[in-house]
Chains A and B, each alone.
Chain A
Amino acid sequence: MQKSKSWFILIILLVIAIILSFGIGPTGFSLSDLTIPLEVRLPRIILGIFAGGVLALVGASLQGLLQNPLVDPYTLGIASGASFGAVIGYMFGRIGVFTVPVFSFLGALVTMFIVYNLALVRSRITKVSLVLAGVIMSFLFSGIVMLLMVLTRKPLTEIIYLLMGRLNVVFTNELLISFIIIFILSAPVMMYLFSKWRSLNILSMNEEVAESLGIDTQKLTRNIFIASSFLIGLVVSFTGAISFIGLCVPHIIRLIYGPDHYKVLPLSFLLGASLLIFTDLVARSIAPIELPLSVITALFGVPFFIYLLKKRL
């Protein structure tokens, strides 16, 4: 009963988010003309569900795998690595619609392994060294992204959106098809992460105990890194890097529903999706111009991060 109830509340929240986002905007809402809601707002809702869900799912998986409350795609620098990859992809632009997502994935993957190895001091990883390595790489890649975009004479707003996130992607037919294909490709990858709930639970005890119970922790780490990079690469190639969703959502879920990854992973996906849609709604409603998403997520994310830093380490 407990389980069905928890799903129920989060699904209602998501439905509310979708309805509000569908109905609210500068041109308002009337049933007689649904062009704007259907053509402008619906795509960003779908993108929001995908991006928010993936960010939170990956955040939850990485927090469980690395037993570190401070990690998410953003703090580990994977998101900036993916942005960097995306920019490189843009520069090669004409090869095909998948150039940007593929480069973005590679950027994320390479960053993840660099960060992991930077944090590895005498074959041990501390919670702080991992985040420190992530922040360092994040600075580096953000800097390079800026440089490359300025050199290729991209407008400053593009850069800001790439580094701070947006959902107002203009879906051309070509882009729409690539999005659908990517969505289908990422389904089994997400399923893989969901399927590892028991291993992630056991890892929360002790890596050696997990090994002694028959879990190949090295293989698991490698696979989750690759799966996470893949998903984040795809998301970032569409939305740019969005902060804090991946960090906060799993904590909120664990606080309410307990630490069992059987629940934490799918419920994080649901809450992440709703939160990102709400965030987008705020970002396009409170100011005359549309704000990058990370502006909003940082406003509630940073206090949360400070709280974790003070309390949990």
Chain B
Amino acid sequence: MVAIEVERSSFSYDRKRVLENLSVQVDAGEFFGIIGPNGAGKTTLLKLIAGLLKLSNGNIKLFGESLNNIPIAERAKLLGYVPQENFFYFGFTVLEVVLFGRHPYLKQMERPKKSDIDKAIEALKFTDALELKGRNVLELSSGERQRVVLARALVSEPKILLLDEPTAYLDITHQIEIAKILKKLNQEGITIIFLSHDINLTSLLCNRLLLLSDGKIVACDAPEKIISNEIIRQVYKISPHIVSHPESLKPQIILPS
């Protein structure tokens, strides 16, 4: 089953072309990585899929249905979106923040029910953040915050999870922690779109990578096909060493000295 279908899509901002005539398909259950240099249009693509930006041209379908025809509340149940920057303005508790994710399931004035709270607890357990339940979100460390934000996205029970650099501000311990959670989610059948600058991590996690540069697709294939000296040099203008990961045999890059 095709989860996401981007058809000849373009996006312009202030008369500047950010994405040009992009076509890509993601199957349900994929762990799909989006990589590319700064300004390649990765975040824009993610926001277009999330319905946060309007396409200038083309069409995006989720499970065969055009994004424009999906009511905003239904879309909210289908997609979980985690932006790169997660600010909190008020000092809500972690549980309260996770419960925000139940919004699409609640009626206008309805308070979260017992069943919603159970789902929130379950989500927190899944992201290994249950002990943070009563904490003030303003006082969380980056690693803790990221697990809470993930739980908030999970509690809406999405079929597709869109993640904008979820490991960007984390040390390697917390990067691996998030990676493990995402793998577990993917095994439960959730399609994951993982945007990152970390080529090595995407190579380890994703079954397929989309390499963007200047708003165009350079390549879209398995990591083994994408992470090659030739392609990396062409896109990033550096010549790294490429080795196989000793366990998974996935390609890993080592920066040139």
Contact = CB atoms under 8 A, between A and B. Distances in A.
Given A205-B88, A212-B76, 7 more contacts: A206-B83, A209-B100, A213-B76, A214-B75, A214-B104, A216-B72, A259-B91
Given A208-B81, A209-B81, A212-B81, A198 B91 contact: no
Given A206-B83, A208-B47, A262-B111, A213 B92 contact: no
Closest 5 CB pairs of A and B: A259-B90, A214-B76, A212-B81, A204-B89, A67-B89
A214 B72 contact: yes
A213 B104 contact: yes
A259 B100 CA distance: 13
A158 interface: no
Contacts of B156: 213
A195 interface: yes
Contacts of A209: 81, 83, 86, 100, 152
Nearest to A122: B14
A201 B92 contact: yes
A212 to B, nearest CB: 4
Interface in B158-184: none
Contacts of A195: 108-109
A214 B51 CA distance: 10
Contacts of A211: 51-52
A290 interface: no
B120 interface: no
A132 interface: no
Nearest to B13: A123
A195 B107 CA distance: 11
A216 B83 CA distance: 17
Interface range on chain B (Cβ under 8 Å from partner): 20 to 34
5 contacts: A195-B108, A201-B90, A204-B88, A204-B89, A211-B51
Nearest to A203: B89
A4 B156 CA distance: 30
A24 to B, nearest CB: 38
B253 interface: no
B85 interface: yes
B128 interface: no
A296 B123 CA distance: 50
A260 B93 CA distance: 10
A282 interface: no
A198 B106 contact: yes
Contacts of B33: none
A97 interface: no
Contact of A214 (B73, B96, B109): B73
A212 B111 CA distance: 20
A46 B156 CA distance: 45
A97 B52 CA distance: 46
Most A C-beta atoms less than 10 A away, residue of B76, B100, B101: B100
Interface string A178-203: 00000000000000000100100110
A201 B89 CA distance: 10
B146 to A, nearest CB: 14
Given A195-B108, A202-B100, A206-B83, A212 B88 contact: no
A151 B79 CA distance: 60
A190 to B, nearest CB: 14
Nearest to B103: A213
A220 B34 CA distance: 33
A52 to B, nearest CB: 23
